[in-house]
A and B are shown apart, each in its own frame.
Chain A
Amino acid sequence: MNSQPLLLATPSGDALKLRPEGPWTAANVATLETLSRSVGAEVDRSRVVTLDMSGVSALDTLGAWVLEKLSRRAASSGRPAEFVGVADHFSGLMDEVRQVNRHTPPPAAAPNPVLLRLGDLGKSTVGAREDITIFLQMLGALFMAVVGVLRRPRTLRLTSLVYQLYRIGWQAIPIVVLITFLIGAIIAQQGFFHFRRFGAESYTVDMVGILVLRELGVLIVAIMVAGRSGSAYTAELGSMKMREEIDALSTMGLDPVDVLILPRVAALVIALPILAFIGSIAALYGGGLVAQFYGDMGPAIYIARLHEAISVTHFEVGILKAPFMALVIGIVACSEGLRVKGSAESLGRQTTTSVVKSIFLVIVLDGLFAIFFASIGM
């Protein structure tokens, strides 16, 4: 009994006798590979190969396969190796291994890299069209659901709507306030620092007011909501899809859009303007604190300057954008959730796609709104 596997090769003329010894098991795989490689050349040279198995103390599938491979190598250059002295309790395994790996499918031909690139390009073009179709389909389905609710208001899922409002609105307030407060403070600090050089410090307030109310307040909040609530929607709907809950809903005669998606999107459309408002106020407050402690501008002056600098129009421009951004986030999040397939990986991929896509679309939408408001003179 050896604790290490051995392979004794005894060549005689064009015949070769191989005698494996010891444990031919997976635990010694490194040794087995070296051993079988070391006799490879001799096996190729010999016409008749005999494998004497009487010295093998333990054998598993891996060991049996390594020996079988030697035998097949012999077959390619002459006759298959003859196994002698196979112990009874190994013979079943040896017979089994003889059957396997006979029909390896031909490896797929390496694809042409240029064609591969072109194929990818084509696929992503089709994919982009598909994305737009899905977006419009979801928008249409939501519109139909809203019409249905308007016709019969009792079909609105009020409990679900209130719960979603609590989750994505109320529970989001602390983090929204914190982030927008910091953003407002940072803008004000930068304004004072740079405007001071040419004595235009007082215009910092104009900048903070206009920037926060028109653009940053709503944009920052929308991005945060896309990351915080959009991802949650995608993951929820995706795992419901994976566990066939959505199919179960449909078979009970309920439309998943009515039951799951409308309350979620409606909650976003209601909550985002409120959050944007709260966020803008927090940012103005942060700017005011910086004005007092960094810019030597008292609260009374800050508020008076703010009063002069901004008008309701600025506020309207900001807050009008919020529901549309909420709609985009909601539609992207829900439709990505419904596109989840069976695997855990697909759930992760769709969640990432949902967040990336909705942030991208929110920024694009913001740009379109900027052009629109400029052209109507708001």
Chain B
Amino acid sequence: MGEQQEEFAIRVRDLVVGFGRQTVLDHLSLDVRRGEILGLVGASGGGKSVLMRTIIGLIPRRGGTIEVMGQPIGGRTQGAATAWGILFQQGALFSSLTVRQNVQFPLRENLVLSQELMDEIAIAKLEMVGLRAQDADKYPAELSGGMTKRVALARALALDPPILFLDEPTSGLDPIAAGDFDALIRTLQGTLGLTVFMVTHDLASLTTVCDRVAALADGKIVAIGPMRELLQSEHPWVRAYFHGKRSQMLQHEMR
């Protein structure tokens, strides 16, 4: 039994989430294995971000259970910084702090360590995500879109969390930067042994980095598995998603 629990980083059972009369997630179940990169796809407004925000405790749920690293998650997000890192879609960097202070923020709040070590760790994280030490004293307003995402990733990784949540990490990046970012996530995942939960629409990321892809439709996970299996799926929405004109073109190119 202990082995069984160790195998999964996130276990979601019969999750129900709704707002007012509308039910967004309807008895959804999902397992994320330890050390994998799971991509989540779904229609715009279909509840992908809601699922992610519910797992990290930002949205209350109506029913069901969520376990992260074998620990049941309550309604609160307190003390969660060491359990997971989150990359928000717009970066969500604190605009009044420099890049260095942004990366140090989780360290400062959660650990007791010397300023010298904190500076070194911050620079180390920035260099790991492909930034230079010279960028450390800039303010978020001075950064480009790609740099903002990298700094946000460095902040999310500041405490070496075992799980990393990414909300559309490559949206708003050009294909080269998006490809670099995908490669970066792959590398970091390998180096730090992360479990990555990624919400994305980017078919290229799904194909190149994700170990498994889960498709969310009608408030449920309708298909889950490696990209190859999803392409064979018979579910009408999944077929429409992966075999639409845009997707066909992309897959054709890739072959």
Contact A343 B96 (CB under 8 A): yes
A157 at the interface (CB under 8 A from B): no
Residues of A within 8 A of B (CB): 25-27, 29-30, 33, 60-62, 65-66, 69, 89, 92-93, 96-97, 99-101, 103-105, 341-346
Contacts of B111 in A (CB 8 A): 26-27, 29-30
Report how far A93 CA is from B82 CA in the complex, Å: 19
Is B80 located at the chain interface by the 8 A CB criterion? no
Q: Which residue of the partner chain, among B96, B121, B128, B133, contacts A345 with CB atoms under 8 Å?
A: B96
In the complex, the chain A residue whose C-beta lies closest to that of B106 is A26
Chain A residues, Cβ within 8 Å of B128: 61, 96, 100
Given contacts A61-B192, A100-B127, whether A343 and B133 have CB atoms under 8 Å apart is no
A101 to B119, CA, bound (A): 10
Which of B134-142, B169-177, B195-203 forms contacts with chain A? B134-142
Q: A65-B121, A105-B134 are in contact. List 11 more A-B contacts (CB 8 A).
A: A26-B82, A26-B160, A29-B112, A61-B124, A62-B160, A93-B192, A100-B124, A342-B141, A343-B96, A344-B96, A345-B96
Report yes or no: A62 in contact with B121, Cβ–Cβ below 8 A. Answer: yes
Contacts of A29 in B (CB 8 A): 111-113, 117
B82 touches A65 (CB 8 A): no
Inter-subunit contact A60/B123 (CB<8 Å): no
- Asked if A30 and B113 sit within 8 Å, CB to CB, the answer is yes
Tell yes or no: B190 within 8 A of A by CB: yes
Chain A hits for B96, CB < 8 A: 343-345
Given the interface pairs A89-B193, A100-B128, A101-B120, the reply to whether A26 lies near B159 with Cβ below 8 Å is yes
Contact A92 B133 (CB under 8 A): no
Name the B residues within 8 Å of A101 (CB-CB). Answer: 120, 123-124, 127, 133
B95 part of interface (Cβ distance < 8 Å): yes
Residues B193 and A345 in contact, CB atoms below 8 Å apart: no
Tell me the minimal C-beta distance from B138 to chain A in angstroms.
12
| CA–CA, A115 and B141, complex, Å | 28
- Asked if B114 is an interface residue, CB under 8 A from chain A, the answer is yes
* Count of chain B residues near A, Cβ 8 A: 30
Most buried by B among A25, A26, A65: A26
A96, B95: Cβ atoms closer than 8 Å = no
Q: Is the CB of B120 within 8 A of A345?
A: no
* Nearest 3 A/B pairs, CB to CB: A342-B141, A343-B95, A60-B160
A-B contact pairs, 12 of them (CB 8 A): A26-B160, A30-B112, A30-B113, A33-B117, A60-B160, A61-B160, A62-B160, A65-B120, A69-B120, A97-B124, A103-B132, A342-B141
For A343, the chain B residues whose CB sits under 8 A away are 95-96, 139-141
| B150 sits at the interface (CB 8 A) | no
Q: Give the residue name and chain of the A residue nearest to B192 (CB).
A: A93
What residues of chain A lie closer than 8 Å to B159, measured between beta carbons?
A: 26
Q: Tell me, rounded to whole Å, the shortest Cβ–Cβ distance linking A27 to chain B.
A: 7
Residue of A nearest to B120 (CB): A101
**Contact between chains at A344 and B192 (CB < 8 Å):** no
A175 CB to nearest chain B CB (Å): 31
Question: B44 on the interface (CB 8 Å rule)?
Answer: no
| Distance, CA A29 to CA B193, complexed state (A) | 20
A69: chain B residues within 8 A (beta carbon): 120
User: B4 interface residue, CB < 8 Å from A?
Assistant: no
B125 within 8 A of A: yes
Taken together as a complex, chains A and B put the C-alpha atoms of A33 and B112 apart, in Å, by 10
From A61, A92, A93, A344, B125 is in contact (CB under 8 Å) with A61
Knowing A101-B127, A343-B141 touch, does A60 contact B95 (C-beta < 8 A)? Answer: no
| Closest A residue to B143 using CB positions | A342
Kindly provide the distance from the CB of A23 to the nearest chain B CB, expressed in whole angstroms. Answer: 12
Q: Which residue of B lies closest to A60 (CB)?
A: B160
Task: Closest A residue to B111 by CB, please name it.
Answer: A29
A residues in contact with B123, CB < 8 Å: 100-101, 104
Min CB distance B144 to A, Å, is: 12
**B78: interface (CB < 8 Å):** no
Whether A341 and B193, one on each chain, are in contact in the complex, defined by CB atoms closer than 8 angstroms, is no
Q: Decide: B190 and A99 in contact? CB cutoff 8 A.
A: no
Residues in B whose Cβ lies below 8 Å from that of A99: 127
B:129-166 near A, CB below 8 Å: 132-134, 139-141, 157, 159-160
Report the separation of the CA atoms of residues A101 and B132 in the bound assembly, to the nearest whole angstrom: 9
CA distance A60 to B124 in the complex (A): 12
Distance A89 CA – B193 CA, assembled complex (angstroms): 8
**How many angstroms from the CA of A66 to the CA of B120 in the assembled complex?**
10
Tell me the smallest distance from the CB of A274 to a CB of chain B, in Å.
39
Instruction: Contact check, B95 vs A342: say whether CB atoms are below 8 A apart.
Output: yes
**Roughly how many angstroms separate A25 CA and B95 CA in the complex, as a whole number?**
29
From B107, B112, B191, residue with most partner A Cβ within 10 Å: B191
Q: Is the CB of B120 within 8 A of A96?
A: no
Contact of A27 among B82, B139, B192 (CB under 8 A): B82
A204 to B28, CA, bound (A): 77
CA distance A104 to B95 in the complex (A): 24
User: A105: which B residues are within 8 A, CB to CB?
Assistant: 133-134
The chain A residue with its CB closest to the CB of B188 is A96
CB distance from A56 to the nearest CB of B (A): 14
Which residues of chain A are near B107, meaning CB under 8 Å?
26
- Chain A residues contacting B127 (CB-CB under 8 Å) are 99-101
